[in-house]
Structure 1
């Protein structure tokens, strides 16, 4: 269960850091924009109040320019460094600029006559590295009345206010980051408990699958008067060869399951043929060969065992096309079946049977080499030849329980996705 805790911790930490990393900058930007909008909203409201107080909302009379000039002067020096008032036609009537606003004016981007209908603003970083807010306000005598003029103001954000806005934004971003981390820590025990429960159930399912595969393999072996050690040996030999060829994941699982269940179809062969001590005649051999098709039917559509089909259906095919039941040749034969064919013959020749003694290692390898390119895939034979001495040494002297132990490690290494 330590693995599940570590895995859950890593995932929660990754998600939490991702959330914090994404949410904090967004919170920083939103907080900064909100601060800007608050400043702008106050400036817009104050500019309307001053202009209304100077009776400058009507900018079409003979005193329009004088009233506009007076209002512009009142708006500069406090809220704005630059204040401009335009007529309804967009003609500038008045402009007031503070000493601090004069160097700003040359750095502002130009624009045409105002024609907007809603208040807005621009946040600008000037070439002088100063931060200004440019406010645009349409003027109306009545809230829903026609536009009578326009006010445009430029507010220089002082260094202290800029620092305050950034500081507030940073605090909000930090709080969001801490909230993400706290949430991650709070859900960790819940996720760990769920992960451990899922892992426990998945391991039980895996173990039941493996037990079912082994039990079915042993039942098949005993049906054929075998101790069952043959199944473990050929499965282990096949898996070791598959590893050397780079198999992993589903292809390796198919190879192991198929090696255990390669003779599943012999369950359907009559005892008189399956257990006949002498040589089978042609009719009996024809029946015996049906175990391939019967085995394929047994494992096909059986969910977890479906992967065994490649070996079950193809382990009697030969590289040169002389095998059965389909006479496949070369790479038409599934790789798992080509690997198993070598392991199966190697074990049959190397093992003691009621009707024979084990062949010497040199003779076994000579027979395998004679089948290279005919019975066996040349690449598989070459890889297996390099492995054979070490594989033989590991198997030497092991009984069924010993070989089962080797295979158990192999099965859990390639089937246990919870490692």
Structure 2
């Protein structure tokens, strides 16, 4: 850097010497374009200047002289008009031309009365050792910047690690709060319908495994999981004499029971992260043939999540004992699902469930209620805490 400053100072001093030549009375009396400036050529020969240009006070070209070896540079790459500095100041600019490094120096010319009479511009070629030193300074500066950035990163690492730990702990607390909310909603209906609690856990595990069997994106399965767990939350609003009736419901009672799907939507309304569960809560009683409720959707108008859940919901109801009916075997339940395919259920979903139903039911049937509660926890981690969740299939959550 010292060499660069020294080169700038040398260029300025040489340009000032040329300026003194031009403000002499003899030179000011010459007409533009006259070539009586042997002194300028002497400056070129005795310095690192490759060219000098002189302009009048309006910035119009008056004289110029160039080192013969630098004519190509002068005519092709240098600016035709510099930026003029105010009186008493100079302007120095570093210019890179081909393999040369130049310093452009511009000075105002003052007459004997101190008024502006023109400008002089010189182009000073830097010595090779100065250019080499400058490049080394740049390279060393970049290296020092990189080292400083790395050192700063190392110094901040404990702080960043601590911040990451706090963020992770906050994420854990948020996930636990969300899980507690869903669990509380599930428990609230279980207090009124004793069969619902274990059913919620079973159908959630069934639905996650079936979705994975069908190749549903892992990013979509969390919505299905929450919807499955909360599918009957709207039954909180059904009167006890209907909800807990041991026998078949009358037509009027069944119409009331059907409203639980829309009541469920009202319960989760306004909870942003539960919005993905709405499809299952609202449409798990729709049918492929369009004869379901509440919207009488048909075919693929029904979301895949709701079509998946409809199959596992009915399957679990068939293989589970209720006050008003006995349980049937898994094979019998699958036979019913196959008969109802393309009417009540999506045939592709039924076929996929057939591939895993017997082994999956065997695992779930052996599980106690406490086992089911424990099984849901790692499934929750798989859904909502992807960065630390295990990568094995969802079915592994049942038997872990």
TM range (shorter): 0.7 to 0.9
1:234-271, Cα deviation, whole Å (9 max, x unpaired):
01111112223343466322211111111112222222
- Flag the 1:184–1:355 CA change in 2: closer, same or farther, 3 A: same
CA distance in 2 between counterparts of 1:291 and 1:131 reads 83
**Equivalent in the alignment of 1:368:** 337
Is it true that 1:46 corresponds to 2:16 in the alignment?
no
Q: Find the counterpart in structure 2 of residue 263 from structure 1.
A: 232
CA distance, structure 2, for counterparts of residue 396 and residue 240 of structure 1:
15
Alignment of 1:132-211 (within 5 A): 132-133=101-102, 135=104, 137=106, 139-141=108-110, 145-148=115-118, 150-155=120-125, 157-211=126-180
| Alignment correspondent of 2:397 | none
Q: Where in structure 2 are the equivalents of 1:1-400 lying within 5 Å?
A: 38=5, 41-54=8-21, 56=23, 59-61=27-29, 68-80=37-49, 82-86=50-54, 88=56, 90-92=61-63, 94-95=65-66, 97=67, 102-106=68-72, 108-110=74-76, 115-116=81-82, 118=84, 119=91, 121=93, 123-126=95-98, 130-133=99-102, 135=104, 137=106, 139-141=108-110, 145-148=115-118, 150-155=120-125, 157-226=126-195, 228-248=197-217, 251-400=220-369
Cα pair 1:317 1:329 within 8 Å, conserved: yes
| Distance of 2:297 and 2:55 partners within structure 1 | 92
Residues 144/246 of structure 1: CA separation in 2 closer, same or farther (3 Å cut): farther
* Structure 1 stretches lacking a partner, 5+ long: 1-30
Give the secondary structure class of the aligned counterpart of 1:278.
Answer: coil
Give me the whole-angstrom Cα distance separating, in 1, the residues matched to 2:275 and 2:346. 24
Q: CA RMSD in A?
A: 3.2
How many angstroms does 1:44 deviate by? 4.3
Contact 1:47 1:75 in 2 (8 A): no
* Contact 1:122/1:134 (8 A) holds in 2: yes
Question: Matches of 2:3 and 2:360 in 1, distance apart?
Answer: 74
CA contact (8 A) 1:57 1:149 kept: no
Q: Which secondary structure does the structure 1 equivalent of 2:106 belong to?
A: strand
Which residue of structure 2 lines up, in the alignment, with residue 402 of structure 1? Answer: 371
Separation of aligned partners in 2, 1:372 and 1:113 = 82
Taking structure 2 as the reference length, the TM-score comes to: 0.82
373 and 40 in structure 1: CA distance in 2 versus 1, 3 angstrom threshold: farther
